[in-house]
């Protein structure tokens, strides 16, 4: 079956102006860590309840084009009387269901403290099953660390190659690949160093995507912003982050890509929105839409408010964040 047209339509839909992607695909261990930090016990039932709270927030379809889920959530249902599978529930709202398909990061053999993302083995079978269950896009996150002597060419190459193999397999099965090469914010490095590493990483990623015959019109790029490291003494301001990020993307992302949906990566919720807003104010003539695919920056307020019981208040907090980020895609904050 040839999915080309469907891939292009869905990729464009994911990055429609005014909408972005909710990353709710925390693995069970990550979700447990976030729950336990707030004294919430983590079980399949409590995780189901929390995801239900997010997905059934009234009005999110105005701001959210797609939701990325972890396998457990992907197979769960709404907690209301009629228990509608989440995939179906989201489709009814015209929100695309998505699935995280990587198996997480592992130590890269032959290198000190660098990582590579695993999950290519039997990926074709998993993708076919996810498509049949309603998924229309997938996510794979590669992690690039900055430190002395890092990143090595070896880690950039290994991660870019895996991203490209994953993306080609997704398109073969009708799923739009979210290609996520994340240069981490951890460390003390300057924004200039982040620029250099992000530029190099994106360059190699697109080289590999082309080599593996990935259709760039049927994918979404999910990069980090070009930003000062969390522990850098000299923190670049909003304007500088916006300008350097746009410059880096212009120089390294082909025009065929329909859209770029940023990760928040440890930025505060407010700052992540402000960065996106400024970029959209500056970038009237870019070939791609710039939007969000935030996890923490969309969910943090909601999770802190919920604490396992305050459902309505948490939904309000979530809706406010989604609305603000939607405005930021228009540069209207």
Which residues are at the interface with ligand 13P (CB under 6 A)? Answer: 23, 141, 180, 263-265, 294-297
Q: Which residue is nearest to ligand 13P (CB)?
A: 295
180 is catalytic: yes
Closer residue to ligand 13P (CB): 3 or 306: 306
**Minimum CB distance to ligand 13P, residue 261 (Å):** 9
Residue the block writes with tokens 């003539």: 285
**Minimum CB distance to ligand 13P, residue 247 (Å):** 22
Closer residue to ligand 13P (CB): 136 or 141: 141
222 is catalytic: yes
Which of 103, 105, 101, 186 lies closest to 146, judged by CA? 186
From the candidates 100, 139, 145, 222, give the one annotated as an active-site residue.
Answer: 222
| Beta-carbon contacts of residue 33 (< 8 Å; ≥ 6 apart) | none
Closer residue to ligand 13P (CB): 221 or 297: 297
Closer residue to ligand 13P (CB): 66 or 174: 66
Question: By the 8 A CB rule, do 250 and 199 touch?
Answer: no
**Minimum CB distance to ligand 13P, residue 293 (Å):** 6
Distance CA 1, CA 12 (A): 21
| Beta-carbon contacts of residue 275 (< 8 Å; ≥ 6 apart) | 225, 227, 238, 241, 242, 245, 262, 267
Q: Determine if the peptide bond prior to 151 is cis (ω within 30°).
A: yes
**Minimum CB distance to ligand 13P, residue 180 (Å):** 6
Residue 222's SS3 state is coil
From the candidates 180, 182, 274, 300, give the one annotated as an active-site residue.
Answer: 180
Which of 67, 143, 76 lies closest to 111, judged by CA? 143
Any idea which residues carry the catalytic annotation?
180, 222
């Amino acid at each position: 079956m040839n999915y080309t047209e469907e891939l292009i339509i869905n990729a464009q839909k994911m990055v429609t102006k005014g909408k972005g992607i909710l990353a709710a695909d925390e693995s069970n261990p990550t979700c447990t860590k976030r729950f336990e930090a707030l004294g919430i016990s983590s079980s399949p039932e409590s995780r189901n309840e929390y995801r239900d709270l997010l997905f059934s927030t009234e009005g999110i379809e105005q701001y959210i084009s797609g939701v990325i889920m972890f396998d457990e959530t992907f197979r769960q249902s709404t907690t209301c009387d009629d228990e509608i599978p989440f995939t179906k529930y989201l489709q009814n709202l015209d929100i695309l269901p998505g699935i995280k398909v990587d198996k997480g990061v592992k130590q890269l053999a032959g290198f000190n403290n660098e990582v590579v993302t695993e999950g290519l083995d039997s990926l074709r079978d998993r993708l076919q099953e996810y498509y049949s269950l309603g998924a229309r896009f997938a996510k794979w996150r590669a992690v690039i660390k900055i430190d002395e002597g890092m990143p090595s060419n070896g880690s950039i190459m290994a991660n870019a190659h895996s991203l490209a193999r994953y993306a080609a397999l997704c398109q073969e099965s009708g799923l739009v690949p979210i290609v996520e090469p994340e240069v981490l914010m951890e460390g003390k490095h300057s924004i200039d160093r982040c620029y250099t590493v992000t530029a190099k990483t994106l360059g190699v990623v697109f080289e590999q995507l082309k080599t593996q015959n990935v259709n760039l019109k049927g994918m979404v790029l999910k990069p980090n912003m070009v930003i000062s490291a969390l522990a850098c003494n000299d923190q670049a301001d909003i304007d500088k982050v916006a300008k350097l990020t746009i410059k880096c993307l212009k120089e390294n992302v082909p025009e065929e890509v329909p859209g770029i949906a940023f990760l928040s990566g440890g930025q505060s919720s407010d700052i992540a929105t402000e960065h996106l807003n400024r970029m959209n104010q500056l970038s009237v003539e870019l070939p791609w839409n710039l939007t969000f695919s935030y996890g923490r920056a969309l969910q943090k307020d909601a999770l802190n408010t919920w604490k396992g019981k305050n459902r309505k208040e948490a939904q309000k907090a979530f809706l406010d964040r989604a609305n603000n980020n939607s405005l930021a895609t228009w540069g209207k904050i």
